[in-house]
């Protein structure tokens, strides 16, 4: 009887890729806690993870009652139509939990103002995503804000954040690279920072197209940043490490419900906020280069869309018939249409992200 009951338990509860990823990250962070004494990153991670998972799970019924369901693009892979009716806007829960736990855990007067500013920036982009999701929900199609409308709101939020950063001298004009080499952009750092905020938030938005893809990659990157900060050994970096691991934990908790087949999607509400948080942290800590390396998947996803559009328009103008280099963009859809199962595409992108996080550590170690 016991074996029969066990067999009735969904296998994904124990044996999913997501659970292996979560266990892997917990073991890594627990090991870091042992090696670096007097720091409890694993406790912060678990508190954030459980809070995100439990509150999101308890809220699922409310999302379903409100019929806040994802509208699936007709232009996307046909099999994605099976996801129609899945609740979206999960970022409304995950983002605030990660930010709340992160700010409490990183209680440090030396950097608290900077983290509050990053928190407000993240909430602003979450709000933009919510407007986009809500408008799409009202219109009953996968299109909310117009591109100009979305970028205008992103520009406004980014400019406010950068005006604060300029008044507080919170951002260095030099961007650190490898081998102790840096480039001083002077006053150009401000338009560069604004561009990066918009580019990264839209890149994470584009990546959120498969169950668990963006949430898993995001959790891995925030974990990588947390480890990098803890190894720096300063009080300010310890606070940043606690903040990042709290956000990672929130995404891991969400991932338990976002893994294939997803019970809920993060929506633009979550994906836009994820990118803004990454660049916000990168700007105040001068870790833009490590974030670029760790987030190579986000860059590749965004680049695939840009190349697809440019090549299609150029070939159409020259030959009268547009040609595509990918079966479909963003990149994850290309692999799907090539015959790979969704879970294998997601697993592969997670592994690539882990490899590039390790690469970032190796480069940073040589500095």
pLDDT digit string, tens, across residues 44-70: 999 999 999 999 999 998 888 877 766
**What mean pLDDT comes out for the span 347-354?**
98
Token pair in block for residue 292: 């670029």
- 15 pLDDT exceeds 70? no
183 DSSP β-pair partners: 175
pLDDT tens digits, one per residue of 294-320: 999 999 999 999 999 999 999 999 888
Residue tagged 């294998």 (tokens): 344
> Where is pLDDT greater, at 139 or 107?
107
- 322 pLDDT exceeds 60? yes
- φ, ψ for residue 307 (rounded to 5)? -65, -40
Contact by Cβ (8 Å): 122, 262? no
- Taking CA atoms, 229 is separated from 120, 130, 181, 223, 245, in Å, by 21, 31, 19, 10, 10
pLDDT of 4: 45
pTM for the model = 0.93
In the chain, what percentage of residues exceed pLDDT 70?
90
Q: How confident is the model at residue 215 (pLDDT cuts 50, 70, 90)?
A: very high
pLDDT of 3: 45
Cα 296 to Cα 169: distance, rounded to the nearest angstrom: 29
pLDDT tens digits, one per residue of 186-203: 999 999 999 999 999 999
């Amino acid at each position: 009887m016991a074996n029969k009951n066990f067999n009735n338990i969904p296998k994904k509860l124990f044996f999913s890729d997501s659970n292996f990823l979560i266990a892997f990250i917990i073991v890594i962070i627990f090991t870091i806690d042992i090696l670096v004494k007097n720091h409890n990153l694993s406790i912060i991670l678990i508190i954030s993870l459980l809070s995100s998972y439990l509150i999101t799970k308890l809220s699922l019924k409310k999302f379903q009652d409100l019929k806040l369901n994802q509208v699936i693009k007709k232009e996307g892979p046909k099999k994605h139509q099976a996801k129609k009716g899945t609740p979206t806007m999960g970022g409304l829960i995950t983002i605030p939990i990660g930010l709340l736990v992160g700010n409490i855990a990183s209680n440090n007067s030396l950097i608290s103002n900077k983290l509050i500013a990053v928190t407000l920036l993240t909430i602003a982009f979450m709000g933009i995503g919510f407007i986009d999701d809500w408008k799409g929900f009202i219109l009953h199609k996968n299109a909310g804000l117009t591109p100009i409308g979305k970028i205008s709101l992103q520009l406004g939020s980014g400019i406010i954040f950068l005006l604060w950063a300029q008044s507080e001298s919170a951002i260095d004009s030099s961007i650190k690279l490898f081998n102790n080499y840096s480039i001083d952009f002077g006053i150009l750092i401000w338009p560069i920072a604004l561009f990066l905020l918009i580019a990264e938030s839209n890149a994470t938005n584009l990546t959120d197209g498969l169950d668990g893809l963006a949430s898993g990659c995001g959790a891995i990157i925030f974990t990588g940043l947390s480890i990098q900060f803890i190894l720096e050994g300063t009080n300010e970096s310890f606070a940043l490490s606690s903040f990042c691991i709290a956000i990672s934990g929130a995404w891991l908790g969400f991932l338990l419900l976002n893994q294939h087949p997803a019970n809920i999607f993060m929506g633009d509400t979550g994906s836009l906020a994820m990118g803004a948080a990454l660049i916000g942290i990168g700007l105040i800590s001068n870790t833009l280069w490590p974030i670029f390396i760790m987030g190579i998947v986000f860059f590749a996803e965004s680049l695939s869309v840009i190349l697809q559009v440019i090549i299609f328009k150029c070939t159409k103008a020259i030959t009268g018939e547009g040609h595509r280099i990918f079966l479909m963009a963003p990149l994850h859809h290309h692999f799907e249409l090539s015959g790979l199962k969704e879970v294998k595409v997601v697993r592969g992108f997670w592994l690539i992200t882990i490899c590039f996080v390790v690469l970032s550590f190796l480069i940073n170690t040589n500095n």
